[in-house]
């Protein structure tokens, strides 16, 4: 992990795919950055993504925006709750550019627990599956989910799925807690 300036912690490069001029999706490197609740610029970047992305239905970036503001204003910031961003930005992480953010996710791991709550995984809706022929990037959601599995290897992951994303989670080893439930669990020990 590399600390850039006093905020915007760069974690590592992540591979997704970007639409090339020939119409094919090719590997594309983006940056995984951890949100810094002390940095007002990070809070502002998430606020801007909320303003731009929330015009699309089924966008959950408002949850991330609210938690980011709460963490920023908190004197005792929760170390168990983390927000990460995928961005095209390659440097200057002390001031995140909201126009370069491709996805955001938030996890909560209570101290001494083997269970991690995946609270939100949100791809920029203008680059999601629903963007159809205008889609410029693929595998953003997949790369975020893979990163969560890697960071919390050996832990049980729990989440509440959007009704349109159940197939995505099931394809990735999540199982509904009950028939027809939107609550899902990934248990690496049951694989």
24 burial (CB, 10 Å; 0-12 / 13-18 / 19+) is exposed
Residue 87: give its domain's CATH number: 3.40.630.30
pTM, two decimals, is 0.89
- Domain presence at residue 111: yes
Domain around 28: 9-190
In a domain, 2, yes or no: no
Q: For position 4, what pLDDT does the model report?
A: 35
Torsion of CA 47, 35, 31, 167, to 10 degrees: -70
Q: Angle at CA 3, nearest 5°, toward 100 and 38?
A: 75
Q: Is residue 75 part of a domain?
A: yes
Asked whether residue 59 is domain-assigned, the answer is yes
- The total domain count for the chain is 1
d(CA 117, CA 89) in angstroms, rounded, equals 27
Residue 96 lies in a domain: yes
173 falls within a domain:
yes
3 within some domain: no
Give the list of residues 6+ apart from residue 77 with CB closer than 8 angstroms, or none: 37, 38, 71
In 3D space, the residue among 90, 110, 75 whose CA is nearest the CA of residue 8 turns out to be 90
Cα Rg of the chain, angstroms? 16
**Which H helix or E strand runs over 133?**
none
Strand partners, 16: 28
pLDDT values of the chain reduced to their tens digit, one per residue, 191 residues: 333 333 568 899 999 999 999 999 999 999 999 998 888 888 999 999 999 888 876 678 889 999 999 888 887 667 789 999 999 999 888 788 888 999 999 999 988 899 999 999 999 988 877 767 788 999 999 999 999 999 999 999 999 999 989 999 999 999 999 999 999 999 998 86
What per-residue confidence (pLDDT) applies to 7?
Answer: 52
Task: Give the integer Cα–Cα distance in Å for 64 and 119.
Answer: 9
Asked if residue 169 is part of any domain, the answer here is yes
């Amino acid at each position: 992990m590399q600390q850039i300036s006093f905020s915007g912690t760069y974690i590592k490069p992540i591979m997704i795919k970007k639409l090339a001029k020939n119409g094919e999706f090719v590997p594309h490197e983006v940056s995984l950055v951890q949100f810094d609740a002390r940095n007002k610029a990070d809070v502002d970047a998430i606020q801007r993504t909320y303003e731009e992305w929330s015009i699309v239905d089924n966008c959950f970036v408002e949850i991330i925006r609210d938690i980011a503001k709460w963490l920023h204003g908190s004197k005792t910031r929760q170390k168990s709750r983390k927000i990460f961003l995928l961005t095209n930005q390659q440097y200057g992480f002390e001031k995140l550019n909201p126009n370069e953010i491709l996805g955001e996710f938030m996890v909560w791991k209570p101290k001494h627990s083997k269970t991690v709550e995946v609270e939100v995984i949100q791809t920029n809706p203008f680059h999601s599956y629903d963007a159809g022929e205008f889609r410029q990037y693929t595998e953003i959601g997949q790369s975020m989910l893979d990163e969560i599995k890697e960071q919390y290897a050996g832990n049980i992951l729990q989440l509440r799925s959007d009704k349109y994303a159940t197939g995505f989670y099931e394809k990735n080893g999540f199982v509904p807690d009950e028939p027809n439930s939107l609550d899902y669990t990934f248990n690496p020990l049951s694989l």
